[in-house]
């Protein structure tokens, strides 16, 4: 069952995308809007925060909530993400961290996932496709998150699962960026399909490569520049070279958990 904030966010999303609330207009004052929707102001604020992460609205302190036109609010969304154990990460730093972690857990999933896990992965992928078919960006971002978290679980490595959970909130916010910039584009579905195919085929290097390609593509769709450090003046700042050929994504032999440690 959906939470009240998610349900209200989807209702408001439909009103915005249908033109009921046109771009450039203001939502009613939050007190009045909460009364109209029959929810608390706290639930409304959470719903509006989700819509702001998608670029659909802009919350203006002291002025109200403005409805954005297509992509007009996206430049404001590159905010830092607070994580429970890793401190505050910029969107670029988060995608760099994900580029280190997620190809590895996708590769492990390819050699460790059982039939039940593979079916769950395929079903989760189908939810993303269905959400984009109906232009439900909130549901698409949630399905995207569940897909990535499930791959961590299918890795069979509790340390990676724990790290995924530590990053869950930050990743959930960052996954809304590509949809805010590109809308209901089906490119994420095609990229996920490539990951699913490799995992189901037991192709660890292929799964790692498909995940890396997906994350780099998501960064581009989010407007995240991986070639320019957050602090360009830092003497030890280094850029991520996305033009170089991919190295072999795995330089070690993958073994099922029952066979012990990596060789």
- CATH 3.40.50.2300 describes domain 4-76: no
* Cα distance between residue 196 and residue 211, in whole Å: 10
- Looking at residue 69, its pLDDT comes to 60
* Cα distance between residue 5 and residue 249, in whole Å: 40
Residue 82, classed as helix, strand or coil, is strand
173: its two tokens = 């916010």
- Looking at residue 193, its pLDDT comes to 97
Total-model pTM: 0.68
- Looking at residue 223, its pLDDT comes to 76
Q: What are the C-alpha distances in Å from 215 to residues 33, 93, 111?
A: 37, 13, 21
- Looking at residue 234, its pLDDT comes to 37
pLDDT along the chain (263 residues), means of 10: 79 82 88 91 88 79 80 52 76 90 97 97 94 82 92 96 89 71 72 97 98 92 73 38 40 44 37
Residues 6+ apart with CB under 8 A from 5: 43, 44, 46, 47, 50
In the block, which residue shows the tokens 């639930």?
43
- Looking at residue 206, its pLDDT comes to 98
Q: Where are the domains of the chain?
A: 4-76, 78-258
- Looking at residue 124, its pLDDT comes to 95
Q: Which long-range contacts (CB under 8 A, 24 or more apart) does 13-16 make?
A: 13/51, 13/54, 13/56, 13/136, 13/137, 13/138, 16/51, 16/56, 16/57, 16/67
The bridge status of strand 64-67 relative to strand 57-60 is antiparallel
- CATH 3.90.1150.200 describes domain 78-258: no
- Looking at residue 108, its pLDDT comes to 98
List, in sequence order, every residue forming a beta bridge with 26; answer none if it has no partner. Answer: 66
């Amino acid at each position: 069952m959906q939470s009240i904030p998610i349900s209200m966010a989807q209702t408001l999303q439909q009103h915005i995308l249908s033109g009921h609330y046109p771009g450039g207009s203001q939502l009613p004052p939050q007190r009045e809007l909460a009364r109209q929707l029959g929810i608390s102001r706290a639930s409304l604020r959470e719903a509006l925060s989700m819509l702001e992460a998608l670029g659909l609205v802009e919350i203006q302190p002291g002025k109200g909530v403005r409805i954005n036109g297509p992509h007009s609010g996206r430049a404001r969304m590159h905010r830092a993400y607070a994580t429970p154990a890793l401190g505050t990460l910029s969107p670029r730093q988060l995608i760099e961290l994900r580029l280190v972690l997620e190809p590895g857990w996708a590769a492990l999933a390819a050699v460790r996932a059982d039939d039940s896990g593979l079916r769950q992965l395929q079903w989760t992928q189908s939810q993303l496709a269905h959400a984009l078919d109906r232009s439900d960006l909130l549901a698409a971002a949630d399905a995207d998150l569940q897909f990535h978290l499930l791959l961590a679980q299918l890795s069979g490595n509790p340390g990676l699962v724990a790290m995924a959970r530590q990053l869950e909130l930050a990743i959930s916010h960052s996954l809304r960026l590509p949809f805010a910039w590109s809308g209901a584009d089906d490119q994420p579905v095609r990229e996920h399909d490539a990951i699913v195919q490799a995992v189901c085929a037991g192709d660890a290097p292929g799964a790692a490569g498909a995940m890396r390609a997906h994350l780099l593509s998501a960064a581009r769709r989010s407007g995240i520049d991986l070639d320019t450090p957050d602090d360009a003046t830092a003497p030890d700042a280094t850029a991520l070279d996305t033009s170089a050929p991919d190295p072999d994504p795995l330089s070690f032999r993958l073994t099922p958990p029952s066979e012990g440690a990596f060789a």
